[in-house]
Amino acid sequence: MRESPQLVSIYDSYANNLVIVTIALEKDDKTWRKAADKFGFVWKHQIVEENQFVLMSSIARKYGVTEIPAKFLISPNGELMGRYSFKKIDSLFSLKE
């Protein structure tokens, strides 16, 4: 939740060059909806996966998520480029503009 304003800022800055996909690993989807409304998550791709043990969800295991939030960059070709901080993402995209 702490990083939600940074995520919205990255989206606002680079919406034309960056596709944001949020995946919420939640015990129930009400928590996610409340956060999405509060922080203004307006992008098209928002996925919620419910699991009583969020880090044991299939998507967390598939991508090796061991802490939340986890941020990944995926190339336009669909290749996983790695985990990046918002600061690093901002620096990568600000160089392109």
- Cα–Cα distance, 3 to 16 (Å, whole number): 21
pLDDT in the model for residue 87: 86
Give CA–CA dist 84/74, Å, rounded. Answer: 10
HSE-up of 15 (CA within 13 Å, CB side)? 9
Ranges of the chain with pLDDT below 50: none
Predicted local distance difference test score (pLDDT) of residue 97: 55
73 CB-side CA count, 13 A: 16
